[in-house]
Chain A
Amino acid sequence: MQEDPKQSAGNAKRLTITGLNKWFDQVHVVKDLNIDVEPGEFLVLLGPSGCGKTTALRMIAGLEAVASGAIVIGETEITNLLPKYRNIAMVFQSYALYPHKTVAENIGFPFKVRGIKGEVRDAAVRDAAAQVHMESMLDRYPRQLSGGERQRVALARAIVRRPDVFLMDEPLSNLDAKLRIYMRAELKHMQHELGTTTIYVTHDQVEAMTLAHRVVIMNHGELQQIGTPLEVYNNPSNTFVAGFMGSPPMNLINGNISQGSFQTEGMNIPMNGKLQDGAVVLGFRPEDADIVDSGQGHFNARVFTVELAGDYTLVTVVFGDNSVTVKMPSDYDAAYDSEAAVRFSMEKTLFFDAKSGERLEMGGS
């Protein structure tokens, strides 16, 4: 399903970030970031707001100074280069179109400031506009365009000068839901066509899953995990990633391991494999569990809500202080506050260290 980035890489450049750090006064916003972006790769920086992903992107763009570390594109170190010498294009969340310039002037602006005019510029502008299906609106002003059209113009302005790297800062978040899904597909197709190395920042894990060759998950300025969408979904390296990826995210239940079984209030489940005794967090995905009659499952719980979401139904149950969400077929229904039980697949269940949040590997059984 995911195509190999190397296939589409013509003359795409590799982007290497080593030991990148940034402080805002006393706050350490980006902590020792190391990322190696393959040529032509679509890399998504994912994390909650304030996790340092946008700051990292702005450092790559040259809009923020780097405290320490190095950024290299291809063979060229660009760490302390001015933005205009980096050959990087960026699409802003706000699109940042120049309101007093027409669509053609907006797209042609990178040429204008370099003193390139005439047929060269016009041809490039037409090409870029055609690529985003805006060739019929070259004479309009941004205020005469819809949100989706503005987004296309911003993309055209980024692709018009064939940059080494594309940076995108939540480019779809200002669009309405329907348009966002459509533009997402277009964006992915366009990146595949151009084969340009792309870094995309978002807080939306669905966007990250659908767009990325690889996802970088960040929290508190630290890299949590880097891997393909499938890897980070199936094998989250810690509780943060587990709780962030997926909609709804993984269910996490605090408990203890003793005598080869997982124990918490109302639960006592024998383990397949071996783990050290101690405090752990048990995690399973909503789709890997079922609601069954009381007494038939791994633990008993009380039905809290039942939400129909089209092709499936989300059932939230509570037991003790925990709440667990389970994905059921759309024809499932249950009365509020009725007694039920949850059964989940022990093979797909993951365990994390309660203190550090790190994933615990099961020993041989």
Chain B
Amino acid sequence: MNSSAEPGFVGRRSRWFEPAGIGKLSPGGKLITYFFLLLWAFVVLFPIYWLLITAFKLPPDVNNGPTYLPWIDFQPSLHAWRNIFVEDFADTFRSYSNSIIISFFSTILCVIIGSLAAYALVRIQYKPKFGSILLFVLSLVGAFIAVGQWGIDWRFGVTAGLAVFFLLWRATVRRHLSDRQMSLALGVLLVVAASLFFAASLSAEFAEYGRPGSIILVLLVIGWSTAHWLKSSIGNADILFWVISQRILPPVVVVLPIYIMFQRIGLLDTHFALILTYAVVNLPIVVWLMHDFISTIPLDLEESAQLDGASHLQIFWEIVLPLSRPGLAATTLLTLILSWNEYLLATFLSTTKAQTMPLMVAAQITQERGIYWWNMAVVIIIMIIPVVAMAFVLQRFIAKGVLLGAVKG
């Protein structure tokens, strides 16, 4: 009743931290906000400024201590630009076009496959049997061993591996053994193992019978757990997590196996190898992001399209893709930047023919003459330009509100 007398409720704080009105910042708050904004702007913009001036410096300007202001500290020169665009033109042009081709096609491939996969994971409930997955992995491992160890042609090896998988899959996972058959087989094996152990413990004469007994027991445990796996199945959430988990592994762990794989099939230093590898490496990110975007599209729209007579592909093309356009644009941009900047895999998979821009940046670090900072700055500048342009183009699509008016009354 006399809450106005309570100083805690009505007492004003100092004017510095009192907002001028609703939805406005207090003077003190404004000061702090702008201080951090300016600080951050400096952190972001200074390297770009440094890059720009370095590109116009002569080696002595770089080597004899820092210089900051063109025309005052040092005389700008086109020396580095001449190095990159005239003397090394063939090299620059090849790296540049390689980078464009590789990142463009790997992004296209990755976004198409990834968004289709994400759509399927949102709309279709999968229940793969654990046994099928295990069989598939084992068949592929067998194929890889055959290719790696015995020098079988890889196309033949993979085909045979897949064939083995399908045969085994049809024979085991699809047709369950009945519980009675299972327990009968288990019982017989247990009795055999027990009698072997019993014989081994009776006299030294049968001592070697212990080993087959243990083998049978181990097989029983494996068989039992396999049978259990065969029956259990995993769901969409597990599949999605498995896809994302591929990014937990640092690429440096798998780069050697990937290198050996491409070496075996003779595709090192080709566009194809890099396009394929980048597409695969970026796939988890695309699936993960697109999964989120696609699941915001109301199911009603797709059901309505079904009744209107559209096929699955028509629904994807006419409804899902246009409605996930902001997500698609953001994902495409991200994938493009990731492939554009990728360095580690490129060092292993390419040497000269398929050399990309990041490798050219690194090539400015030489053993005998040190680092060519001025050349490096020029290469980095021309490397940044297309990404900035793409960001401007795609930004228009990353607008909110495409779903407005879909289902709300």
Contacts and interface: CB of A to CB of B under 8 A. Distances in A.
Contact of A84 (B310, B322, B402): B310
Contacts of B266: none
Interface stretch (B109-117, B311-319, B383-391): B311-319
B38 interface: no
A98 B306 contact: no
B409 A175 contact: yes
A98 B319 contact: yes
B403 interface: yes
B369 to A, nearest CB: 57
Interface string B296-338: 0010110111111111001000110011000000000000000
A90 B307 CA distance: 7
A143 B314 CA distance: 23
A62 B403 CA distance: 25
Interface string A110-136: 101110000000000000000000000
A174 B323 CA distance: 23
Nearest to A157: B308
B405 interface: yes
Contacts of B318: 98, 109, 112-113
A61 interface: yes
A296 to B, nearest CB: 50
Nearest to A163: B307
B406 to A, nearest CB: 4
Given A83-B306, A84-B307, A100 B402 contact: yes
A110 B308 contact: yes
Interface in A21-43: none
A110 B405 contact: no
A144 B301 contact: no
A157 B308 CA distance: 9
Contact of A83 (B307, B408, B409): B307
A286 interface: no
B407 interface: yes
Interface string A75-106: 00000001110101110101111111000000
Nearest to A95: B407
B263 to A, nearest CB: 47
Interface string B374-409: 000000000000000000000000000111111111
A353 to B, nearest CB: 42
Contacts of B319: 98
Contact of A110 (B309, B322, B402, B406): B309
A96 B407 contact: yes
Interface in A17-75: 61-63
A99 B300 contact: no
A82 B314 CA distance: 15
Contacts of B301: 96, 98
Contacts of B314: 113
A99 B406 CA distance: 5
Contacts of A90: 303-304, 307
Contact of B405 (A88, A150, A175): A150
A323 to B, nearest CB: 35
Interface in B263-317: 298, 300-301, 303-311, 314
A319 interface: no
B304 A96 contact: yes
Interface in A259-285: none
A5 interface: no
A141 interface: yes
B271 to A, nearest CB: 35
Contacts of A92: 300, 303-304
Contacts of B409: 94-95, 147, 150, 174-175
Contacts of A99: 323, 402-406
B310 to A, nearest CB: 4
A143 B405 CA distance: 4
B309 A113 contact: yes
Contacts of A175: 409
A142 B83 CA distance: 57
A145 interface: yes
Q: Which of A88, A94, A114, A150 has the most CB of B within 10 A?
A: A94
Nearest to A63: B303
A100 B323 contact: yes
Contacts of B405: 97, 99, 141-145, 150
A174 B405 CA distance: 13
Contact of B307 (A61, A95, A141): A61
Contacts of A147: 409
A84 B310 CA distance: 7
Given A143-B405, A150-B409, A113 B300 contact: no
A82 B303 CA distance: 11
Contact of B406 (A63, A83, A97): A97
A61 B318 CA distance: 21
Nearest to B325: A100
B306 A94 contact: no
Contacts of B403: 99
19 contacts: A61-B303, A61-B307, A62-B306, A84-B306, A84-B307, A84-B308, A84-B310, A89-B308, A96-B298, A98-B406, A100-B402, A109-B308, A110-B308, A113-B308, A113-B314, A113-B318, A114-B309, A143-B401, A175-B409
Interface of B: 298, 300-301, 303-311, 314, 318-319, 322-323, 401-409
Given A90-B304, A150-B405, 15 more contacts: A61-B303, A83-B306, A83-B307, A84-B306, A84-B310, A94-B300, A94-B407, A96-B303, A98-B304, A98-B318, A100-B402, A110-B309, A142-B405, A174-B409, A175-B409
